[in-house]
Amino acid sequence: MRTMGNAFQRLFTFLGLLHYGAAATSLAGNWTLVQQGLTGVSGLQLAVVSETKAIIIDKVENNALMVDGHIAWAVEIDINTQEVRALDPLSNTWCATGSFLSNGTLISSGGSPIRITGEDGLQALRLFTPCTDGSCDILEDPTRIRLTSARWYPSSVRIEDGSVLIFGGSLLNNYINNATINNPTYEFYPPKNIHGFNGLQIPSQFLNDTINGNHFPNLVYLPDGRVFISANTQAMIFDWKTNTETQLPGIPNGVRISSPFSAGHVLLPLSAENNFTPEILICGGSTVSDFADPLTLTSQEPTSSQCIRMALDEAGIAKGWEVDQLPEGRIMADLILLPDGRVLVIDGAMTGVAGYGNVADQIGQSNADNPAFMPVIYDPAAPLGSRFSRDGLIASTIPRMYHSTASLTPNGTIMLAGSNPNADVSTIMYATEYRLEFLSPPYMAVERPSYTGLPATFDFNSKITLDVDLPEGTKDVKVALMDLGFATHAVHMDQRLLYLDAVLHEDKTKLTVTGPPTPALFPPGPGFLFVVTDSGVPSFGHQTLIGTGASPPVDEDAIAKYVYAQQDDDAAGCAVVLAAGAEAPMSVECSNVASAIMNMLLI
């Protein structure tokens, strides 16, 4: 019986690998963790913006770091030296979302109305174009360029034309969404003339159906050009081109998965070997009622250990969610894709809910307790029941719960920052955290492949040839193209791994790589390219712009309507209130404002 069981186990393992296909062998060994550097502002939001730099954005609070005579709440940080350069956004970035455009500009949208210094952030649009000379800053022009409605806790996703879809949120700040403050709409940046809503926000039924617990809904761009969206206990596929919502099987066992019941989610790696079939992984969450008075809740509320996975093809949807279990319940966990195809589950808490200042028995001000210090690895190629492992992993001693972030870096380490479950900078229990950590997988301690020859732009279906230097004994390689995403509140906007078609030349010194087959498989914009050996060891991830590097399309008609909708009081003749069903002709002054906005959109 044991022999037969082992035979079946080997068969199931083989079938799982055959189905998944894209995962590389993973190098065994011990992970290392170092505390190195300070962030200057707490790491509420984090995005890697170049091969050496990351941007960290906080809410407006009383950090010691100053910029232009006032407190700072955003920095650019050098990943290698941890040198910090203060940035100067104008508005409160608290609970904003972020995505990169096709030209490499980061768009931060939404935020908070609370002012310590600066502007109201609810309708804010902030642009950050990375630079190499230390001169770049966050650009805002609140009177000219902003969202068409207020958004607190929205999400965003880059789509196949290189623009950004911004989805959901609340009209005011609150612990949890509700029908009186819900913003059940989405919009595009740059604005689009689409579905009869020229340049303006468009209604979404899903955002009505999922209140109360639908802050920071999970958005994933799919290879067929549609968007997977999940929030609360529901999921759907959204066709933005036809404005159609298609319901998917609900989240099993009543587990809620979006803030303040935050689960981690990720799109598993895509490759030709798995026919580019998208699979969604969602881990953690809570079964707490989203209509409960928070004063009836406790920081000791159990969290869910449920980890679910579904393939979004016809067979996978018919099968529904496959249910697995984390080693422990977890909320606010970050799920980080590794170049070898595995997923790191890290940070968060084992009890309570997200947020601060709400539950009856706050820890300091935190709504959560029992930090999840020990990470775990999820191997999507392993059979169900044996996908989680802690072999060689190391625990942190720094609680990273609400308002913490994590990201893979180009050199292959995982950068860990933040945690501030308080109304302001604090030294109480679970205090404001500025310490930076770097978690290093075992591959950081061995000889790694390297390459040169990656161009600044890498177009779809084009071929490039890299010069590679491979460790002795390497028989083959994979090429992992990764979007490292924008992380906040355990949500990773746009995080993605696509294995590209690659042919290693016979002498193993050159590698011919083909760009993504379609923009839906990897929407045009920043990507980091890792060469991964057959032993699971990645190279440094050099950066390129997938596509041509061009700005996303700008619709002049939508911009004109957008200008009218903004009622720009600073431009004479542009503060126009439209009569129902009619549009005033564009004045010269208003045309000039539209042109200025278009120039900003094309930054």
Query: Mapped to the 3 state alphabet, what secondary structure does 135-181 carry?
Result: CCCCECCCCCCECCCCCECCEEEECCCCCEEEECCECCCCCCCCCCC
Q: What is the pLDDT of residue 572?
A: 36
Q: What is the pLDDT of residue 79?
A: 98
Position 23: which residue type?
A: A
Q: Give rounded-to-5 percent helix, strand, coil for the chain.
A: 10, 35, 55
Is the predicted pLDDT of residue 570 greater than 60, yes or no? no
Show the tokens assigned to 96: 């904003």
Q: What is the pLDDT of residue 13?
A: 34
Q: Which of 489, 588, 442 is nearest to 31 (CA)?
A: 442
Average pLDDT over residues 166-195: 96
Q: What percent of the chain stands above pLDDT 90?
A: 84
Q: What is the pLDDT of residue 2?
A: 31
Q: What is the residue extent of each domain of the chain?
A: 24-444, 447-546, 556-601
Is the predicted pLDDT of residue 355 greater than 70, yes or no? yes
Q: What is the pLDDT of residue 11?
A: 32
Average pLDDT over residues 207-231: 98
Q: What is the pLDDT of residue 590?
A: 56
Is the predicted pLDDT of residue 595 greater than 80, yes or no? no
Q: What is the pLDDT of residue 19?
A: 39
Beta carbons within 10 angstroms of residue 4's beta carbon: 8
Is the predicted pLDDT of residue 571 greater than 60, yes or no? no
Protein fold of 447-546: Immunoglobulin-like (2.60.40)
Q: Which of 34, 112, 25 is nearest to 73 (CA)?
A: 112
Q: Which helix (H) or strand (E) holds 7?
A: helix 2-20
Q: What is the pLDDT of residue 383?
A: 96
In this predicted model, what pLDDT tens digit does every residue of 103-159 receive, in sequence order? 999 999 999 998 888 789 999 999 999 998 999 999 998 877 889 899 999 999 999
CA dist list (Å): 112 to 155, 178, 274, 546? 14, 17, 42, 33
Q: How far apart, in whole angstroms, are the C-alpha atoms of residue 497 and residue 481?
A: 6
Show the tokens assigned to 187: 């919009």
Could you say which DSSP state residue 452 is in? E
Regarding beta strands 542-546 and 457-458, do their DSSP bridges make them parallel or antiparallel, or are they unpaired? parallel
Q: How far apart, in whole angstroms, are the C-alpha atoms of residue 109 and residue 93?
A: 8
Q: Could you give the maximum distance between any two Cα atoms of the chain, in Å? A: 85
CA dist list (Å): 42 to 127, 195, 312? 20, 40, 36
In this predicted model, what pLDDT tens digit does every residue of 92-104 receive, in sequence order? 999 999 999 999 9
What average pLDDT does the chain have? 91
Q: Binning pLDDT at 50, 70 and 90, where does residue 576 land? A: very low
Is the predicted pLDDT of residue 547 greater than 80, yes or no? yes
Is the predicted pLDDT of residue 217 greater than 60, yes or no? yes
Is the predicted pLDDT of residue 12 greater than 50, yes or no? no
Is the predicted pLDDT of residue 248 greater than 60, yes or no? yes
Could you say which DSSP state residue 602 is in? T
Yes or no: say if 101 and 554 are a contact pair by the CB < 8 Å rule. Answer: no
Half-sphere exposure of 424 (CA within 13 A, CB side): 8
Q: Binning pLDDT at 50, 70 and 90, where does residue 25 land? A: confident
CA dist list (Å): 485 to 106, 129, 555? 10, 15, 26
Show the tokens assigned to 551: 């700005």
Q: What is the pLDDT of residue 588?
A: 53
Average pLDDT over residues 228-237: 98
Q: What is the pLDDT of residue 34?
A: 98
Position 392: which residue type?
A: G
Q: What is the pLDDT of residue 558?
A: 82
In this predicted model, what pLDDT tens digit does every residue of 396-451 receive, in sequence order? 999 999 999 999 999 999 999 999 999 999 999 999 999 999 999 999 999 999 99
Query: Mapped to the 3 state alphabet, what secondary structure does 371-426 carry?
Result: ECCCCEEECCCCCCCCCEECCCCCCCCCCCCCCEEEEECCCCCEEEEECCCCCCCC
Q: What is the pLDDT of residue 17?
A: 37
> Which residue carries 């906040």 as its tokens?
488
Distance of CA 391 to the CA centre of its chain: 27
Protein fold of 24-444: Methylamine Dehydrogenase; Chain H (2.130.10)
Q: Which residues contact 129 (CB under 8 A, 6 or more apart)?
A: 103, 104, 105, 106, 136, 139, 603
